[in-house]
Amino acid sequence: MPRRTATMLASTLVLIALLCAGVLIKVPYAEMSPGPTVNTLGDARGEPVLQISGRKTYPASGHLNMTTVRVTGAEYRMNIVEAVYGWLAHDSVVVPHDTLYPDGKTEEQSTQENAEEFSQSQESAKVAALKQLDIPVATQVVVSTVVKGSPSEGKLHAGDVIKAVDGTAVEEPDDVAKLVTEHRPGENVTFTIVPAKEAAAAEKAGRAPEGGEKITVKTVKAPAQGEGEAGGEGRAIVGIRAGTDHTFPFEIDIKLADVGGPSAGLMFSLGIIDKLTPGDLTGGTFVAGTGTIDDAGEVGPIGGITMKLVAAREAGARYFLTPDDNCASAAADTPDGLTLVRVKTIEDATESMELIRTGKTAGLPSCSTG
């Protein structure tokens, strides 16, 4: 065999071997890519995303799109070829597998966590929107979870509204822990509660829970890890964690399946505001965005910002509401034709929407890489 032919054959065999290795060898990476984007003012799967009853609503045009990121599953393992392709592609990001699934978290666990965060983001979105419109929202402290095998098991239940501890009214979840830990382990604590079923009925009727019954629970010593409603070995605990719940003056339902995580909070809030106020918040413009939101209307950062920008622009968005803490990375890789608008609060967002609606876009707060 001629030397040149032998060399070419050997090179071809080496190349084939490398390609096979690239396909067969798995690497500890995962991929993020642009996901679906949904108009919070429109429909999803044949029904309105935002459904409001018991209060006058107004028609809204334009778009207030929430954005998502598509990720590979927890069990999926990329090969070298896929990883290299992902690194080179503009519309995907390759990240360490543990970034998406830390501590060996399964896909099922991640899905459950995302669902819980999504549910909480909906509640906060409603609260922030109504507060922005000066519509009162009743807030109460509730039993969030009851630790199995604790003194509270069978006496207190998730969803019970906590009105007082030892006769002292509570206004924040931290108040419960503070009052319980004033006791020594072995002493009794008296909770004034509205049972979960009664509280749920009151919420459905659009009124704050009333009345209350007294439940006595004997405290125990906190374990070494400080589990329970207060940390620290030796503290008195009863085995509950307190949280907050809200009673809305009318019904607001957010209907969106197969979406998880907290990042749609800001856009849900804006959609609710638009539907509850006359005129168009967008002025008919296509606006997309992202950002967590809390009850006070503070907008927080999210992951996968560059992928969300790509998804928004491909859907037709002209403006993108960007959490302040995501601004630098977003500004470093902004798709052509998309204007970033920096937001820190729901008030910032509504003010920017007014500038967009009236065409005064020169005054919009922008993002920069610095």
Provide CB contacts within 8 A for 263, sequence distance 6+: 66, 67, 68, 121, 290, 291, 292, 302, 303
Q: What is the largest CA-CA distance in the chain?
A: 98
Which of 275, 253, 284 minimizes the C-alpha distance to 58? 275
pLDDT for 111 equals: 73
Task: Return the exposure string of 94-105: e unless at least 16 CB atoms fall within 10 Å of the residue's CB, then b.
Answer: bbebeebbeeee
DSSP 48: E
Q: Which two tokens stand for residue 284?
A: 């008919």
pLDDT for 82 equals: 65
Three-state SS at 39:
strand
Provide CB contacts within 8 A for 293, sequence distance 6+: 121, 124, 125, 128, 265, 266, 268, 269, 299, 300, 346
How much of the chain is in helix, strand and coil states, percent to nearest 5?
Answer: 35, 30, 40
Question: How far is residue 34's CA from residue 58's CA, in Å, rounded to a whole number?
Answer: 32
DSSP 334: P
pLDDT for 369 equals: 86
Could you say which residues of the chain have pLDDT below 50? 18, 22-23, 226-231
Question: How far is residue 102's CA from residue 268's CA, in Å, rounded to a whole number?
Answer: 28
pLDDT for 112 equals: 76
Q: Which two tokens stand for residue 96?
A: 């360490």
pTM: 0.78
